[in-house]
A and B are shown apart, each in its own frame.
Chain A
């Protein structure tokens, strides 16, 4: 009996993984196959990118400020307050910018995608697409995935910038570090990590690879749960919750492994 249950659970997990990777393969493959739903893509870029700008600005700005405040305690004891720009830049660009933008977008956009596709599923709109001769993955998932792949790195760049700006305000008015010195240390930090292809700072590569991967995770998890929704409005709620939880956990876990890989590549 217990073995049967274990067997069923294992089968379900394998089937789910198979479904997820099929969806992922098709969604990404359709990016290069006609017809291109350009209007849907731009609409999703607007929803995902412009729509998330507010929360990303707020998150980035306050994270930068609180980071500067926390660092100030240690740096004042060491008499190294001039290093605040370097530390904030390294933290924001490499880790906090991508992860916080990812978590914010997972909460806001991931849940939205899952709820919208889930509602379309339970009101037979997905079946309607199928019967009208349209592949729902191509029409619904591909534009959302591509929009996330483009917009999450963009949001991360903005998040990094306002975070560093928030740090600048605390550095200037709380620690007394002049802005000119602060920004000089910021640029120094960006250039000290080495370069990829001669001109691209390694910190940028690290800081943009992560949100690109996180964008894929968020949109694919949301599309998967949304398109798999069953059980009416209760199912839509479940799909939304599962999306946010799964995407958030995956972002944190994948971040660790990505960091390991990137450090292994870039550390001499």
Chain B
């Protein structure tokens, strides 16, 4: 089946329910609790699927206990108004933490704190056990080399080709020869399922949204970081591309054991990829646990939040 067929199928599948919706509107208005229940049961299924995936990629018998790679402890931050209050969570090696929450609750701020682009007013942010809150600007640049970041809009350098974008961190921070750089760029583009031969010389403006995100992931991965951070990796993408990106994040966790923090609105993808979910609620972490624990929660806000999806 070609990509076009896939897309047509998804489009058709999506069209039918909405056509039914128009005729069923009055009934649905009285029946929102049934819809929410249906959504919750779908999410429970996704959570179970995700749990199976996590079990496959989780710690294997005989492997040494996972150490804490990322730790945020009692972090508070305010600009004119408070953004985060007493936020704490930790990610062990190889885990994927997905931060969810309503818009404007400070989800992306957490990524900026991890990258030390922002400094918390209180609390401690640690990477590999090292407190990064008091680092100098130059030392922070070094810590950032342990991390790869995928931005919401991919943030590819638009004056550079795809090849130059992916090669950028290698040229900046390694002494690799050009042939070694090229080999690494090809390897990373292959990893994100892009045809290196075809895309390497293209400019970012010539790529589709999904391809840009994949090049962004390849660039983030170029320096073999131990931590990957994603800001809304699936926003603005069609369902098939969303599935591809979700699969890539899982692949990274499974094959490379990379520790990840993902900020996302997309709760279905979140449930598929998350080892643990952190729910930001009123500037604090309202819930931190596995997707299964989240769907089984009796907390009114969590039920409301999941029902909204």
Chain A residues with a Cβ under 8 A of chain B: 35, 119-120, 123-125, 127-128, 130-135
A-B contact count (CB 8 A): 50
The stretch of B165-173, B237-245, B271-279 in contact with A is: B165-173
The residue in chain A whose Cβ has the minimal distance to the Cβ of B165 is A128
Q: Known contacts A125-B157, A125-B158, A128-B157; is A133 also within 8 Å of B152 by CB?
A: no
Check B155–A133 contact: CB distance below 8 A.
no
* B interface SS class: mixed
Q: Known contacts A125-B158, A127-B117, A128-B157; is A133 also within 8 Å of B151 by CB?
A: no
Contact with A along B126-165 (1 / 0, CB 8 A): 0000000000010001101101010111011110000000
Check A131–B153 contact: CB distance below 8 A.
no
The 7 closest A-B pairs by CB, nearest first: A124-B155, A128-B155, A131-B149, A133-B145, A133-B141, A124-B151, A133-B144
Give every chain B residue within 8 A of A124 (Cβ-Cβ): 151-153, 155
Give every chain B residue within 8 A of A132 (Cβ-Cβ): 144, 149, 168-169, 172, 219
B115 lies within 8 A of chain A by Cβ: yes
The residue in chain A whose Cβ has the minimal distance to the Cβ of B111 is A131
CB distance from A31 to the nearest CB of B (A): 17
Of the listed residues A123, A130, A132, A135, the one surrounded by the most CB atoms of chain B closer than 10 A to its CB is A132
Interface bracket on B: 20 to 34
Give every chain B residue within 8 A of A128 (Cβ-Cβ): 149, 151, 155-157
- Tell me, in angstroms, the Cα distance from A124 to B169 when the chains sit together: 16
The answer, among B142, B151, B158, for a CB contact under 8 Å with A127, is B151
- Tell me, in angstroms, the Cα distance from A135 to B139 when the chains sit together: 11
- Tell me, in angstroms, the Cα distance from A53 to B144 when the chains sit together: 41
- Tell me, in angstroms, the Cα distance from A123 to B229 when the chains sit together: 17
Give every chain A residue within 8 A of B157 (Cβ-Cβ): 120, 125, 128
- Tell me, in angstroms, the Cα distance from A132 to B157 when the chains sit together: 12
CB distance from A156 to the nearest CB of B (A): 28
- Tell me, in angstroms, the Cα distance from A135 to B138 when the chains sit together: 8
Check A131–B147 contact: CB distance below 8 A.
yes
CB distance from B133 to the nearest CB of A (A): 16
Check A133–B172 contact: CB distance below 8 A.
yes
- Tell me, in angstroms, the Cα distance from A135 to B115 when the chains sit together: 14
Q: Known contacts A132-B172, A133-B169; is A127 also within 8 Å of B137 by CB?
A: no
Give every chain B residue within 8 A of A133 (Cβ-Cβ): 141-142, 144-145, 169, 172-173
24 example contacts (A-B, Cβ-Cβ < 8 A) are as follows A35-B172, A123-B153, A124-B152, A124-B155, A125-B155, A125-B156, A125-B158, A127-B117, A127-B155, A128-B156, A128-B157, A130-B117, A130-B141, A130-B144, A131-B115, A131-B117, A131-B147, A131-B149, A132-B169, A132-B172, A132-B219, A133-B144, A133-B145, A133-B173
Give every chain A residue within 8 A of B141 (Cβ-Cβ): 130, 133-135
- Tell me, in angstroms, the Cα distance from A130 to B141 when the chains sit together: 7
CB distance from A13 to the nearest CB of B (A): 19
Give every chain B residue within 8 A of A135 (Cβ-Cβ): 137, 141
Give every chain B residue within 8 A of A35 (Cβ-Cβ): 172
CB distance from B120 to the nearest CB of A (A): 17
